[in-house]
Homo-oligomer: A and B are copies of this chain.
Amino acid sequence: MHDLIREAEALCQRAGMTLTAPRRRVLEILAASDTPMKAYDLISKAGEDGRATKPPTVYRALDFLCQLGLVHRIEQDATFVACNHAGHTQPVALFVCNSCLKATEVAYDDVAQMLESAALTRGFQLQRLVIEGRGQCQDCALAA
């Protein structure tokens, strides 16, 4: 978990950017959470130490972290989750359990290639790809 922060720092440095205080704070909170979080939960959590934290601060940090691939935004429900494979810039698929809400991150090069070629046969040049699943994770299936 502190690994993640260290990796993040290294990654920023390589990219010529800096992991400033608010960015690090947001990443720490996300990394400590076992489920994806809403932006406003982050905002109140980040403000739990003395000073107030306001929406733009957190949204800016999230934009930054998402761009570096350190955090993923789950489009279906506007939540954010820290990336497992810190540092990879490849796209991932995110499977979210409807029961426990935990997110499973999966690399999917093969799938991406299929989609890319499916798009290309229609003359469409892919720049960004979002793949999100909903369902039931193993733990919840066994518990039921």
Contacts and interface: CB of A to CB of B under 8 A. Distances in A.
A108 interface: yes
Contact of A75 (B114, B132, B133): B132
Contact of A93 (B75, B76, B97, B118): B118
B108 A118 contact: yes
A131 interface: yes
Nearest to A115: B111
A134 B123 CA distance: 13
Given A76-B130, A127-B136, A108 B115 contact: yes
Interface in A117-139: 118-119, 122-139
A119 B135 contact: yes
A75 B130 contact: yes
A119 B76 CA distance: 18
B118 A128 contact: no
